[in-house]
Structure 1
């Protein structure tokens, strides 16, 4: 897996909402849950977990859509309604960026996949780690450390 070239930029489908990434991902994933299937219109959603300090919207103002909750905020373009990223509350200082929204996606591969119990039978991702549901919260530190080691060994 090649590394993400930083800074990186991307946008929604129509280009009205643009963002910049200045820090590398702390984890990459594909989620197979039926909610992500329906919101993405695909077999799974792609995620690059980016530290909040390394992510900024540089054009447009996102609107919250999709599943709405106290801490989960699916951010969409107000014009084309593309699902661009998700924030999960102040205690989780990262942004779940839909990796396919980046201008350059050649580097992206999911390190882990979640909710495989809801996976379409043909939707294989090649992820190195796989979970029937979401990994338990106590597993994330080790998973992110393993990804960091894997990512550090990746090509430039």
Structure 2
């Protein structure tokens, strides 16, 4: 699979980068230095089980703009094509890397120190969502969108996605 054409956001200042984040206990710390490609809510039953909630929230961050700055995350979840990475001490789910999609890392939005600005732009696996759940996502898919839909979604998010408030 080829890497999608990632829009070059000349106004990265409106993203208020860099961002810091980490697990609940603070042993694993993260740094984000590139604008996200997408903000998502996933309603799949796997995410429901891993979060003990109705859905998971994530930001797709270009891989060069993501780094673990402290601690050593461990792989949890199903140990398959998706590597769900957790703090080894408090077990917080922090991010996911998916084999074959090496150009981004999905970080849990709530792992950011300041995530109050987060609004999902895309929601996936709505065929599995709990019947009472709704999100403000502008784009909704019963499963995962087709891979050829992502370039347009990424471009739209670069223009319309929620941004952190100015600090």
Deviating 4+ runs (over 6 angstroms):
152-155
Give distance in 1, aligned partners of 2:131 and 2:69.
Answer: 38
Give distance in 2, aligned partners of 1:91 and 1:64.
Answer: 17
Contact (CA 8 Å) 1:4, 1:108: kept in 2 or not?
no
Contact (CA 8 Å) 2:45, 2:128: kept in 1 or not?
yes
Q: RMSD value over aligned CA atoms?
A: 1.8
Match of 2:146 among 110, 113, 136: 136
Please state if 1:111 is matched with 2:129.
Answer: no
Distance 1:134 1:31, change over 3 A: same
Instruction: Compute the TM-score of the two structures, normalised by the length of structure 1.
Output: 0.92
Please state if 1:46 is matched with 2:53.
Answer: no
Structure 1: runs of 5 or more not aligned: none
Give distance in 2, aligned partners of 1:7 and 1:110.
Answer: 20
Give distance in 2, aligned partners of 1:95 and 1:101.
Answer: 13
Give distance in 2, aligned partners of 1:77 and 1:50.
Answer: 19
**Structure 1 residue 151, shift from structure 2 partner:** 3.2
Give distance in 1, aligned partners of 2:163 and 2:90.
Answer: 38
SS at match of 2:120: coil
Distance 1:39 1:154, change over 3 A: closer
**Structure 1 residue 153, shift from structure 2 partner:** 8.8
| 1:63-78 alignment runs, 5 A limit | 63-69=74-80, 71-78=81-88
Q: Paired residues, what number?
A: 153
Q: Which residue of 2 aligns with 1:149?
A: 159
Match of 2:133 among 123, 141, 148: 123
Structure 2: runs of 5 or more not aligned: 1-13
